[in-house]
Structure 1
Amino acid sequence: MKKLTLFGLLLAATACQRSFYVARQQSSRLSVDATVAADSSTLRWLAPYKQQLDATMNAPLVTITERLEKNTPESALDDLLADALLAQAGKKYGKTIDVSHLNYGGIRNGLPAGSVTTGNLFEVMPFDNQLVVLTLTGAQLMQFLNHFAANDNALVVGGVRVRVHDKAVTSATLTNGRTIVPDQSYTVAMSDYVANGGGGADFLKTVGGRDNVNYLIRDALIDYFREQGKAGKPLTPQADGRITLE
């Protein structure tokens, strides 16, 4: 009887519920007036957090001798960032990395001449992309290089020198001395965006050898620049000709 009574009460309550529907929609534009005075109490509450954030973002990492911009088929900035990722990925992964790759479209700013800060690196790499290490066969590695070379020669890589003709790779040589053999395995450090098929690289979705490294690409760059800064010498990056158009 108790179960039946509770069930009956539930039915009665459900039957008495009112139903609602949208009768009318209305919208209006709210303008933000920059001349309105800031709320002083809010500013006081935010002040310590802003000071801490400013101290972090304005912290100098290293000095470079001239402003750097990305460019195709290659630039000093492209090479510097790719080499930084190659070095830090190897340390974090704990194993040798053969090739590093950065998505050209993901590089959103250049680096200023003089002191380079943490904030500058956030401007260069604003996205929270994670480091992924894929193990590719030599055939897959060549497919990977060809894919990004075909994309307006936007190939930002470390650990490899590539010759390109009509947006197709004619030769690729690893700088660690290894030869690219179709059925051998090679480790490639890249962002999770690309590893997940971003930039049209859908063929990477089926790659079996994948290690997700808990390390932001941006943090890898920050750590590299900080380590370089500790040496006390300014960086003088130069494009080294790793991408050759024939």
Structure 2
Amino acid sequence: MKKNKLVNSKVLFNYSAFAKAVLLSTIFLVSCSQKGYQLNKVSGNQTAVDSNLKSTEEIEAFIAPFKKSLDGQMNEQISYNTTSMHKNDYKLNTPIGNMMAAIVRTQGEPVYNSRTGKNIDIVLLNHGGIRAGLNAGPVTMRNAYEIMPFDNEIVVAELSGKQVNEMINYLIERKSAHPIDGLQILLNTDDSIHTVLINKKPLDINKIYTVATNDYLYSGGDNMSFFKGAPITKIDYKIRNAVIDYFKKVDTLKFERDNRFDILK
């Protein structure tokens, strides 16, 4: 994690003095307005908060115990990964993408079910939302923050069969390893559709499907316009928290590439 850069005490003092000067000048002008006093000039200085700003020993000493405690929590092993995973390992679907989709279903479905009595049919996330890989070996909370640094939340949308068909066409056109679960798309070598299954059943254009995604994609992120107008259930669960919770309860991670989205040879 990057350390926040702190403004030193001299800078804080200058701004404080400046603020006091403006306040006193304003009070003075209001109380003496009948005499025609005016504020002629206000001056201040600007200090860039960048790599050239030196740290203050007193502040560093103050935060040191908190930093040590936080580093200890972030570096504590909470799971184990058997094989290195990165989002560009394969085309169409990847082990780390399959892991993210599985986590959203595993962690999000019980909450959604308890609130609605329904289960999740499909999970759809975005390839670009995976911000780091996961090496083989110990898995820490820091890894979870690196993979998912955003505060995106799990939401569940109700899509018509027509909207799901639009989603399938979107995935085929993009041919990107967007994490999916519950959906299988098999293409022929000429990119025509060979098989589309939802939970091992053909797409029913007249059915309403529940699709777990994140709030960014539901709002049209990555041009996923097929979510527009779909009823939504918020389950108040950040994806990063779901990742952490999953890592803590699963001793060993074992995810592979499969044929959930593939081209037949």
TM-score bracket relative to the smaller structure: 0.7 to 0.9
Q: Does 1:235 align with 2:257?
A: no
| RMSD, aligned α-carbons | 3.2
SS in 1 for 2:167: helix
2:234 to 198, 212, 219: 212
Q: Does 1:199 align with 2:222?
A: yes
CA distance in 2 between partners of 1:40 and 1:29 (Å):
19
Q: Partner residue of 1:185?
A: 208
CA distance in 1 between partners of 2:40 and 2:108 (Å):
56
1:52 to 50, 62, 69: 69
Deviation at 1:109, TM superposition (A): 0.9
Deviation at 1:144, TM superposition (A): 1.3
Q: Does 1:83 align with 2:102?
A: yes
Q: Partner residue of 2:23?
A: none
Query: Any conservation in 1 of the 2:186–2:259 contact (CA below 8 Å)?
Result: no
Deviation at 1:168, TM superposition (A): 6.5
CA distance in 2 between partners of 1:188 and 1:69 (Å):
25
Query: Any conservation in 1 of the 2:182–2:198 contact (CA below 8 Å)?
Result: yes
SS in 2 for 1:206: coil
Q: 1:147 to 1:19 in 2, by over 3 A?
A: farther
> One-letter code of the match for 1:62?
S
2:244 to 210, 222, 234: 222
- Give TM-score, length-normalised by structure 1: 0.79
Query: Any conservation in 2 of the 1:152–1:167 contact (CA below 8 Å)?
Result: no
Q: Which consecutive residues of structure 1, in runs of 5 or more, have no partner in the other structure?
A: 1-9
CA distance in 2 between partners of 1:202 and 1:13 (Å):
59
- Superposed counterparts of 1:40-119, under 5 Å: 40-71=57-88, 72-94=91-113, 95-119=118-142
Deviation at 1:117, TM superposition (A): 0.8
Q: Partner residue of 2:18?
A: none
Q: Which consecutive residues of structure 2, in runs of 5 or more, have no partner in the other structure?
A: 1-29
Q: 1:43 to 1:67 in 2, by over 3 A?
A: same
- Give TM-score, length-normalised by structure 2: 0.74
CA distance in 1 between partners of 2:38 and 2:194 (Å):
71
> One-letter code of the match for 1:210?
I
> One-letter code of the match for 1:196?
S
CA distance in 2 between partners of 1:236 and 1:190 (Å):
23
Deviations 1:151-178, CA, capped at 9 Å, x for gaps: 2333320112112356675532123x44
CA distance in 2 between partners of 1:144 and 1:20 (Å):
62
> One-letter code of the match for 1:174?
I
Query: Any conservation in 2 of the 1:164–1:244 contact (CA below 8 Å)?
Result: yes
Q: Partner residue of 1:151?
A: 174
Query: Any conservation in 2 of the 1:74–1:156 contact (CA below 8 Å)?
Result: yes
Deviations 1:164-203, CA, capped at 9 Å, x for gaps: 356675532123x444201111111101000000001123
* Identical residues among aligned pairs (%): 29
CA distance in 2 between partners of 1:28 and 1:43 (Å):
19
Q: Does 1:123 align with 2:140?
A: no
Count of residue pairs the alignment pairs up? 227
SS in 2 for 1:155: coil
Q: 1:18 to 1:143 in 2, by over 3 A?
A: farther
- Judge which range, 117-126 or 138-147, deviates more: 138-147
- Judge which range, 70-79 or 150-159, deviates more: 150-159
Q: Partner residue of 1:4?
A: none
